[in-house]
Amino acid sequence: MINIGKNFNAIILSLIFFSVSSSYADNYSYDETSEENAPLSICQETTTSQENEAFSGTYLNLSVTEVKELDQDLLTAVLRYEIEAENSKEAQNMVNQTMKKALEVTSRYAEIESSTDQYYIYKFYKPAKTGEVPKESWRAAQSIIVKGKDFDKLLSAAGKLQDMGLLMSNMYHEVSTEKAEQERNLMIENAINKLKSKAQKVATIIGAKEIQIKNISFNGDAYYPIPYPISARNTMVAGTAENISDPVSSAGKTSINLTISAAVLLK
């Protein structure tokens, strides 16, 4: 009995020590976890406060539109050489020789650019009298495009091409890409200054001391030249061209516009 009592007391003391140790370990783990989480919670609250402060105030949505008329500074002419022949070889040969001479003519004008365009050839049958077999014939054609800012020189070159038998199929004025982009850059600057001026006026009225542009976007009408096609369609026959006077042209104006929209913060 004495030995059993001693062992029983030892077991009881061990259980008490284990219970106390476990409680202490649990409490320590909880405190440690709390201490680690506390600073993170403070940082999150501080960051949110800073963000709210940066975006707090009165938001104002504004838009400004700039419109400007530009003088058309670029002239484009499209001329076509078209020929009929009894066979495809003759038709193509005439086109090739004529277009080679046409490029030689335009190359003498440093002020203009030239390039060849569509080339086509096809077979057709001419109407025949009753009882006759329709006669086979070929038609071939190719176009040349000339463009430049010196209108007089371009019209002179076009006149020489017409003397060679080429037909004027299209001629139009437009604003060159370089000029349009240069003007758009100036319009952007003017529009932003107007937008800031409007925002400053509103800020003064409501008593705000600071303006901040938070978002900004701009768009403008895409500019495309409007060609004015010449509807007449004639087929030239070798040796029929006569000397004609140079074509004439008169440039007009083209309107371009730019709209800028922005969200402005007043503080």
**Does residue 206 form part of some domain?**
no
**Does residue 91 form part of some domain?**
no
Residue with tokens 């077991």: 11
**Does residue 28 form part of some domain?**
yes
Q: What does DSSP assign to residue 60?
A: E
Section 35-42 average pLDDT: 33
Domain count across the chain: 1
Query: Shortest CA distance to 83 belongs to which of 205, 241, 189?
Result: 241
**Do the beta carbons of residue 192 and residue 264 sit within 8 Å?**
no
C-alpha triplet 22, 27, 28: angle, nearest 5°: 100
Taking residue 68's Cβ as centre, other Cβ atoms within 10 Å add up to 15
pLDDT over threshold 80, residue 39? no
Q: Which domain holds residue 14?
A: 1-39
pLDDT of 43 reads: 32
pLDDT of 120 reads: 95
User: Encoding tokens for residue 100?
Assistant: 């080679």
- Does the pTM surpass 0.85? The reply is no
pLDDT digits (tens, 9 = 90+) for 157-175: 999 999 999 999 999 999 9
pLDDT of 190 reads: 92
pLDDT over threshold 60, residue 179? yes
**Does residue 26 form part of some domain?**
yes
**Does residue 25 form part of some domain?**
yes
Residue with tokens 């484009």: 76
pLDDT of 88 reads: 95
pLDDT of 127 reads: 84
CA distance 239 to 236: 9
pLDDT of 22 reads: 39
**Do the beta carbons of residue 86 and residue 158 sit within 8 Å?**
no
**Does residue 31 form part of some domain?**
yes
pLDDT of 244 reads: 75
Q: What does DSSP assign to residue 229?
A: B
CA distance 261 to 22: 66
Section 204-225 average pLDDT: 80
Tell me the CA distances in angstroms from 159 to 78, 134, 171, one per residue in order: 12, 37, 13
CA distance 249 to 230: 13
Taking residue 225's Cβ as centre, other Cβ atoms within 10 Å add up to 14
Biggest CA-to-CA distance, the chain = 147
C-alpha triplet 71, 75, 77: angle, nearest 5°: 155
Rg (CA), the chain: 42
pLDDT over threshold 60, residue 56? yes
**Does residue 184 form part of some domain?**
no
pLDDT of 130 reads: 79
Pinpoint the alpha helices (H) of 111-232: 151-163, 177-206
Beta bridge partners of 126: 135
User: Encoding tokens for residue 231?
Assistant: 């509807």
The dihedrals phi and psi of 33, each to the nearest 5 degrees, come to -65, -40
**Does residue 15 form part of some domain?**
yes
> For the chain, give me the number of helices (H) and strands (E)?
4, 7
User: Encoding tokens for residue 244?
Assistant: 């004609």
**Using N-to-C axis directions, what is the helix angle for 88-107 and 151-163, rounded to 10°?**
150
pLDDT of 133 reads: 83
